[in-house]
Structure 1
């Protein structure tokens, strides 16, 4: 069966993670994606060492994660010829994706208002840190700042009297990028039916607030519920909490209906004597602020067995839980491998387990994991497809309108 997005053409004029991940997802299902970069390249090409991996252009696992199955074009949009090339591409493009700030797009005439009449069928995807209106719309917005800090995650989700948690790249970006992708597919479906394109917008701040919406909305009820940051020692529902085991590991329990699980769970704790005790209903714990008292009971019991021993007991008794794994364990998790999370990919230093996008279609065979393009790898190939002759290519190259991998290899450390 053909890929469902076969024939759909995408221009990805973006950097970092969120929008490239959206474009990569489209490419995974057959879209033809051209990634346009300046000669300085997407900065994710150069972040390897700071992320604890190699800095080689030939082994960039992060860049491949976000940009597999694309072709690469390095274009100087500050030249009239560069803009002419982009317009020629847009004339035959279904989707245009960018995360440039609004003022930069307007300066080049690449904002939606400037393009919608020229390319009426175009689905235009715009992604920003803080949105396109309001006092902060032109602030630089990144995952750590707009999603985690401004959105409220960093200020609330850490243990009370501690410090904000350590962050890793990509969490907010990947979530937000998939929101963008959902909007793009909706607009594309409508464009295929009506012939009319549309603008799809989302941003890191809104995405962050949306994924926390249950808690943020509840925060309006100031006299009810938990005030964050809080401590696991007084968790609102002691059965939705982490517990330290004999071997120093942590287990996360997840039993939202506390009273339903209570008579089943407490005998497993060796505390059948507490079943039926009215002191420890959810209502009583909440009204009498007994969270700390009850959690201390569980803390004492959980410390008597290893994480593996508790997990075996909980699995046998259908108790929702998980050992809190570290990444090295996740890489070897048999369940993750069974459901196709990882694929081994050959790199210069050996095979690496690469993470695949988390959606599959039953009738569509998934693509083998592909590498991202080197900087400028397909520049001349793409320009030839647009009809440029070898003489024209030579002239454009001399003027610095486009660049190839051969030009940029040394700059990239190749």
Structure 2
């Protein structure tokens, strides 16, 4: 049975990005059928050398970091600092729909591959730029020339200011949210700009700053500061506006509960076999529970700690927002993950080698299923295809 082409089949993307934000963006596009041509330096994307590596990969050719983010893409090697490399990139751009880069502002211009250079030869091209603090075209940040990674975006964009056990202990989020959320926002922007290009025949420049994306992600702290004039700070595993809401101990780990309205509070007190709590005026509505949050949370903690996560799932699952705190092993063994197909196997290019298991794409289309995922490319694997025939207009 032939593979599904995907909803983005026919879209050709030149991917000049590296590390996480850009590759995550183009991963989202490749997962749904876009032809993503990864343009790498002779040394390759930095993430190729970041690990981790399996024991059956003694030459360290297949870093997990690279394998997961660059699946289903093509790879060509160009020295963009050379005239030949620049000319080849421009030739490829003639027939591309999208160009993505995540260098600091000014780098692509110095290489002769800036938006104005490329738009001159392909006015319909969508040119997407990810950077730490945005492109000067849309307002020059005082930090425009600063390098940035996820940890910087999380810090400056507000996420760390509300993450951690208390106000004195800000913390970064576990995953690279500063990169990943920025990449997701850019994937949305690219698809929106492609729609405009299809209808109007004109491409455009897209600019997403990691700092800006984090401000958008942390929208709650902006309206809190505006409306309440209270500086939001870390609240541990609780919530500044709701109770009980957050993390609670079980006898063998932790579970999460989210009581956002009075009906869920009543369901919880019933499950706890404490019906009097539902009628207690201190806790009977959201305002009261917020005012007495410490007491509410202590009562719930005292109850949850008596049971295992599985026992609490039986008592609370389906009755109110509830979930156990899963680690990677728990996730890989969860029936939800299996039935939803959230673990994907990537066949290894070497015959007989063990496939990789990666997190699958979560987006599901009823009419246009995503194609099966392919392995990440060997560095320069597609040189002969694209560098010899880069002037072809057909997108195969």
What range describes the TM-score normalised by the shorter chain of this pair? 0.7 to 0.9
- Deviation readout 1:118-160 (Å, 9 max, x if unpaired): 32111101111111221111211111111x1111111221111
- Does the 8 Å contact 1:233/1:292 carry over to 2? no
What TM-score do you get using the length of structure 2 for normalisation? 0.88
| Contact 2:125–2:202 (CA under 8 A) maintained in structure 1 | yes
Equivalent runs, 1:181-192 vs 2, <5 Å: 181-192=187-198
Q: How far apart are 1:235 and its partner, in Å?
A: 5.5
- For the pair 1:199 / 2:202, whether they are aligned, the reply is no
Match of 2:363 among 354, 359, 368: 359
The 1:279/1:29 distance shift into structure 2, 3 A limit, reads closer
Q: Which residue of 2 aligns with 1:145?
A: 152
- Please give the secondary structure, in 2, of the residue aligned with 1:265: helix
Structure-2 residue corresponding to 1:333 = 334
Q: Indicate the SS of the match to 1:241.
A: strand
Post-superposition shift, 1:182? Answer: 0.9
Q: Which residue of 1 aligns with 2:224?
A: 218
Match of 2:313 among 303, 311, 319: 311
Of 254, 257, 262, 1:253 maps to 257
Residue 27 of structure 1, CA deviation: 2.1
Structure 1 residue aligned with 2:379: 375
For normalisation by structure 1, the TM-score amounts to 0.84
Match among 117, 125, 136 for residue 143 of structure 2: 136
> In structure 2, what is the equivalent of residue 399 of structure 1?
none
CA 1:333/1:194 → structure 2, altered by over 3 Å: closer, same or farther? same
Give 3-state SS (helix, strand or coil) of 1:172's partner: helix
Render the CA deviation track for 1:147-176: whole Å, top value 9, x for unaligned.
x11111112211116734465453332221
Q: Distance in 2 between matches of 1:279 and 1:66?
A: 49
Contact 2:86 2:113 in 1 (8 A): no
Coordinate RMSD, CA, aligned: 2.6
1:163 aligns with 169
Q: The residue matched to 1:266 in structure 2 has which SS?
A: helix
State the distance in 1 between where 2:387 and 2:236 align. Answer: 59
In structure 2, the residue matched to 1:230 is 235
CA contact (8 A) 1:57 1:374 kept: no
Q: How many residues align?
A: 381
CA gap of 1:137–1:53, structure 2 versus 1, over 3 A, is farther
In structure 1, C-alpha distance between the alignment counterparts of 2:280 and 2:391, rounded to whole Å: 81
Conserved 8 A contact 2:160-2:172: no
CA distance change for structure 1 residues 50 and 240 in 2, over 3 Å: closer, same or farther? farther
**Residue 21 of structure 2 is aligned to residue 18 of structure 1:** yes
CA deviation string 1:185-227 (max 9, x = no partner): 1111111222111111112111111111023321223456x84
- Per mean C-alpha deviation after superposition, the further-off stretch among 129-138 and 159-168 is 159-168
Query: How far 1:72 sits from its partner (Å)?
Result: 0.9
For residues 161 and 283 of structure 1, do their structure 2 counterparts lie closer, same or farther at Cα, with a shift above 3 Å needed?
closer
- Output the CA distance in 1 between the equivalents of 2:6 and 2:15: 19
Alignment of 1:57-72 (within 5 A): 57-72=60-75
Can you give the 5+ residue segments of structure 1 that lack an aligned partner in the other structure? 389-414
Moved over 6 A (4+): 50-55
Which residue in the other structure is 1:242 paired with?
247
Structure 1 match to 2:321 = 320
Distance in 2, Cα, partners of 1:127 & 1:241: 33
Structure 2 residues without counterparts, runs of 5 or longer = none
Secondary structure of 2:206's match? strand
